[in-house]
Amino acid sequence: GESVGLHLPTLSVQEGDNSIINCAYSNSASDYFIWYKQESGKGPQFIIDIRSNMDKRQGQRVTVLLNKTVKHLSLQIAATQPGDSAVYFCAENPGGYQKVTFGTGTKLQVIP
């Protein structure tokens, strides 16, 4: 069936380095993708989104890249900080009021 998944379950990075979290999706009809950050004991928090008519979108210290050819999504965090430690989920939205599908998450650990 269609699914959204992540390549790496845990990522450890040194404080100040850049982080890259990857996600593979399989539904070629999806036109909207979201990255969420979830800290321990809290609900997911929206980070950044991207539509399928774009291949790159930048926010504050974060960049999302979309490669529709290989159905791959990545989240880049510049100058990773201890406060970035969390689980990151990519999510796929086919559009409108259809169901959002979440991947299993990548845990980012920032080493001080």
Partner 1 sequence: EAEVAQSPRYKITEKSQAVAFWCDPISGHATLYWYRQILGQGPELLVQFQDESVVDDSQLPKDRFSAERLKGVDSTLKIQPAELGDSAMYLCASSLSGNEQFFGPGTRLTVL
Judged by the rule CB under 8 A, the positions of this chain that interact with partner 1 are 32, 34, 36, 41-46, 49, 89, 91, 93, 96-97, 99-100, 102-105
- Return the number of the residue (16 or 95) whose C-beta is nearest partner 1: 95
How many whole angstroms separate alpha carbon 21 and alpha carbon 16? 16
Secondary structure class of 82 (helix, strand, coil): helix
**Which is nearer to partner 1, 96 or 112 (by Cβ)?**
96
Closest to 103 in 3D by CA, of 31, 26, 42: 26
- Give the nearest distance from C-beta 46 to partner 1 in angstroms: 6
Q: How far is the CB of 73 from partner 1 (least distance, A)?
A: 14
Beta-bridge mates of residue 107: 10, 87
Pick the closer one to partner 1 by CB: 10 or 18: 10
Residue 54 or 79 with smaller CB distance to partner 1? 54
Shortest distance (Å) from residue 71 CB to partner 1 = 17
């790159």: which residue's tokens?
Answer: 56
- Reading phi first (left if > 0) and then psi (alpha if -120 to 50, else beta), residue 101 is in beta
